[in-house]
Structure 1
């Protein structure tokens, strides 16, 4: 979006930016919400079990 920009969020709070270009956060991870701070780029490791399969008794 190009500024100046006024954003009204769900709870009715109004945020104003005088910057020429702004990015609106849609992931809600931004520490500067409703403005995007690229927090969506940080990823967490997926919760997967990477344990090796159990050895069978027939292997010898």
Structure 2
């Protein structure tokens, strides 16, 4: 018997056995090995069948929650190396 103390019965995807690769890009999106389905707070599901999916963290994307590279328009002060936590 396995310990499911972290399991959430109200979110079936939470209990899926698959482990996916996720990479956070400095100043950019979070890259997720696809295909993916993202359930939005209103219940709407956004799906992508690409092999790598860029998930927006800056919330500037016109196709949010997917990235459209709008984060590239943001200018950083010269010499700035600290990433700001736009969206967790």
Relative to the length of structure 2, the TM-score reads 0.46
Are 2:37 and 1:37 equivalent residues in the alignment?
no
Q: Which residue of 1 aligns with 2:37?
A: 6
Gaps of 5+ in 2: 1-31, 76-88
What RMSD, in angstroms, separates the aligned Cα atoms of the two structures?
Answer: 1.4
| Count, aligned residues | 44
Q: Which residue of 2 aligns with 1:26?
A: 57
- Between structures 1 and 2, the one with greater strand share: 2
Gaps of 5+ in 1: 45-60
Q: Which residue of 2 aligns with 1:49?
A: none
Counterparts of 2:52 and 2:72, CA distance in 1: 20
Relative to the length of structure 1, the TM-score reads 0.64
After TM superposition, which residue ranges in structure 1, 4 or more long, deviate above 6 angstroms?
Answer: none
Counterparts of 2:69 and 2:47, CA distance in 1: 19
Counterparts of 1:23 and 1:40, CA distance in 2: 12
Which structure: larger Rg? 1
